[in-house]
Amino acid sequence: MVNAQSYPRPIIIDTDGGVDDALAIIMALNCDRFDLKAVTVLAGNIDVHQAANNVLRVIDIVQPKHPPLVAKGCEKPLLRPPFNAAGIHGADGLGELHRFKNADGTERYPQLTVQPSSENAIEVLLKAAEEYGKDLTIVALGPLTNIATALQTNRNTMQKVGRIIIMGGAVTVPGNISAAAEFNFFVDPDAAQIVMESGIPLTLVGLDVAMKAPLSRQAVEEYAKQHPSVVSQFIADCTEIYMAFYRDNEGFYGCYLHDPLAVGVAIDPSLVSTESVYMVVETEGKFTSGMSLADRRDRRDETAAPPNVDACLDVDADRFLKLLYELI
């Protein structure tokens, strides 16, 4: 599914800066198989400016030796009004960190002094595609607006990218924002369809596998006690509201590791089993907007609609969780 490459290999994370995005970025920053060149940011879970601040917050907490460039991109979907998930991720998209104080009463997460790059995310994506070509993996954790815009800007350059690993969609299970659609595809189905038609090798880490990788509140709190650090405390803090949402709405006091699993697949593709399918994303349906429709019919002639996505359908959740703990 992913070509054998020398390590560390260049990657870019494209994100909308929510809670599970933060956990995914922590994994990537701590993974010696990656050279995280940049984090490109867009609106989705929260507006693009707050999302960029959230990414900078995570980098400030992890303190990597070589911090990646952080660049802001699209402020809204291609054709539709913005739609966010502040009710799930907190008003700041990161669990409302202003609530937390240290023992001496000072703010645990004071205002940052760093700013995002002046470069635009679309320019960053295109420059990286040109420079690294097939060696470059993009891990897309939010709506696909930035990537679709880069394709619209210079399709030939973007087609040099080795693979895009997409957290989005659902093949055999219901959606999570509607009966038909997963959140990222629902927010910008037009962008998702452009990416489906891009000709770039795509891996879809959708709800089929993401919902099989739960993390309980108890596990997070126990980990923070057993491994006290700035990072473990941040994970406990930022996931509090996110996990409470699942407790109150689904009866599970924890969360699903949607975005971390996408990074996990980038690190170790053998964590998942995949099926190569032809996929389209519904852009006009009254009730099915954002639905990822995979053609799983038994067809002898696939020339008219050849497979364009490797869709993940099963995951070794235990092995993935082991990898998660190793990298946080």
Q: Which residues contact 301 (CB under 8 A, 6 or more apart)?
A: none
Active site annotation includes 258: yes
Query: Alpha-carbon distance 161 to 170, whole Å?
Result: 24
| Residue 298 DSSP class | -
- Contact of 228 with 328, CB cutoff 8 Å: no
Q: Which of 259, 256, 295 is nearest to 275 (CA)?
A: 295
Q: Which of 317, 281, 265, 308 is nearest to 138 (CA)?
A: 265
Q: What are phi and psi of 235, to 5 degrees?
A: -60, -45
- Contact of 124 with 161, CB cutoff 8 Å: no
Query: Alpha-carbon distance 151 to 11, whole Å?
Result: 18
Q: Which of 49, 89, 98, 258 is catalytic?
A: 258
The residues annotated with a catalytic role in the active site are: 258
